[in-house]
Amino acid sequence: MKGRPTIHQQEELILKAQELFWEKGYTATSLSDLSQVTGAGSGSLYNKFKGGKKELFKKSLQQRRQALNAFKDLVAKSDNPIELIKAFFMEQADCDEKTHLKGCIIANTLVEMTFVDHELEQQSIQLLKDTENFYTQTIQAEQHKGTIKSKIPADVLGRYLITFWCGINSLRRIYPDTQILKQQIALHLQLIN
């Protein structure tokens, strides 16, 4: 009996590597670390990812883009997209301590790669800006429908949500406490009414 197709094995490998990158960052993750966590030898990793560690890291970031696209689809099908976005933020409070301490891989990458690797820095910036644009468009549509009463311009609110996202991922490390995080998240989300 054959195993699963190579594409599934590659996706699993990327997710395992992503977890390690998420915890340690790009710079602190060695090829040896990646081999150990993925179960693939360094030669196998280079055969699958010709660009080595950096290509594997870029694939990890691309996987987060896929997660964003899946969330966009979910929001697009929702009768109440703003409540779905708010629920996404509130769910962050219910994570375990390890997840709180990891923060956001995209925001982490932006901080780590500024002045270090322009390409990875720009990829993380673009993903955050794309997320901001998604929030802006969703808020604007809901303002036109009258479901959001706030007169604050949609682009300002979209940028606010990205600012809040980056901030909450630092706050989660300071206070990995569900109750504190729920209070803070709820307070910030009052602006999107």
Backbone angles phi, psi at 109, to 5 degrees: -65, -40
Closest alpha carbon to 135 in 191, 179, 187: 191
pLDDT at position 95 = 95
Instruction: Tell me, yes or no, whether 72 lies in a domain.
Output: no
Same-domain check for residues 48 and 110: no
Strands (E), 63-168: none
The total number of structural domains that make up the chain: 2
- The predicted-structure confidence for 59-107, as pLDDT tens digits, reads as follows 999 999 999 999 999 999 999 999 999 999 999 999 999 999 999 999 9
Residue 124, domain CATH = 1.10.357.10
The pTM (predicted TM-score) of the whole model is: 0.91
- Mean pLDDT estimate for the chain: 93
Helix-then-strand count for the chain, H and E: 10, 0
Distance of CA 67 to the CA centre of its chain: 8
| Full residue range of the structural domain in which residue 185 is found | 78-193
The answer to whether the CB of 183 falls within 8 A of the CB of 168 is no
Same-domain check for residues 5 and 36: yes
